[in-house]
Structure 1
Amino acid sequence: MASSNWYQPNAAPGRAGNAPAAPVEGQSSPPPSGQEAQPAPFGGMGFSFLILALPLLLIFVMTRSQTKKQKQLESNLKVGDRVFTQAGILGKITDLNPNSPRVKLEIAPGVNVQILKSAIQGPDPGEVAAADDKAKDKKS
């Protein structure tokens, strides 16, 4: 019975086989006969750079638009506005200093707290809905 070499990638030492010789470490294998080495598709490194740069550009654009919206909201605040905060607290602005990053918010009769302007998310949704209902009633 003959032994089979199907599981060995290279010929056994001392035996001639038809398996190609493995390249020596540090040397690249020559291209197949009659062909030149092909460059990497999409430019190799350029494509890798593009894959990394696109998400960074997207993050930059998204944070920039959020910053613009927040600054616009802060500039439109005035005393008496009903607003809600990041924590979900609803209240009315009682004191607003344009040079200070803080505002005083009345969250219950006689209960005032100081919060940062950046913590204000927007106008009270209940107040906006009530104002829309009043505007519709006036038109009718």
Structure 2
Amino acid sequence: MALLTILLQQTGTPQGSPWGSILMMVALVAIFYFFMIRPQTKKQKEIRKFRDSLSVGDKVITAGGIYGKIKEIKGEDVILEIADNVRIRVAKSSIYGTAADSNQQQAQ
């Protein structure tokens, strides 16, 4: 037991410069920022810009998969016509993309 205690005391962590660990932490934060946080904020800005540019007559698809044509925009709500004389009200935030975009993706 005494021999084990002596070996453990001798194999302690070396006392190096604290700047090495600080530099590693800064590098780790920079990697997370440039590879995860920054691309996500860019994508959110693009989505916000798309939703702000919606106009009456656009053909869109909702997050639930409903295709429709915008008939009216009331603040954060959108009235979609999904069939002849069939209209539904959805939140602007649930609009996923334009129907033209989804048709192009299916063709590829």
Calculate the TM-score normalised by the size of structure 1. Answer: 0.56
Structure 1's unaligned 5+ residue stretches are 1-7, 12-20, 31-36, 130-140
Q: Which amino acid aligns with 1:102?
A: D
Aligned to 2:84: 109
CA shift in 2, pair 1:60/1:46, >3 Å: same
Task: Give the number of aligned pairs.
Answer: 103
Looking at secondary structure, tell me which structure has more helix per residue.
2
Query: Tell me, what secondary structure is at the counterpart of 1:87?
Result: coil
The 8 Å contact of residues 77 and 91 in structure 2, kept in 1 or not, is answered as yes
Structure 2's unaligned 5+ residue stretches are none
Q: What's the C-alpha RMSD, in Å, of the aligned pairs?
A: 3.6
Give the ranges of 4+ consecutive aligned residues of structure 1 lying more than 3 Å apart after TM superposition.
Answer: 8-11, 126-129
Identical aligned residues as a percent: 25
Equivalent position to 1:76, from 37, 53, 67: 53
Q: Which has the larger radius of gyration?
A: 1
CA shift in 2, pair 1:41/1:126, >3 Å: closer
Looking at secondary structure, tell me which structure has more strand per residue.
2
CA shift in 2, pair 1:47/1:103, >3 Å: same
Q: Does 1:10 align with 2:3?
A: yes
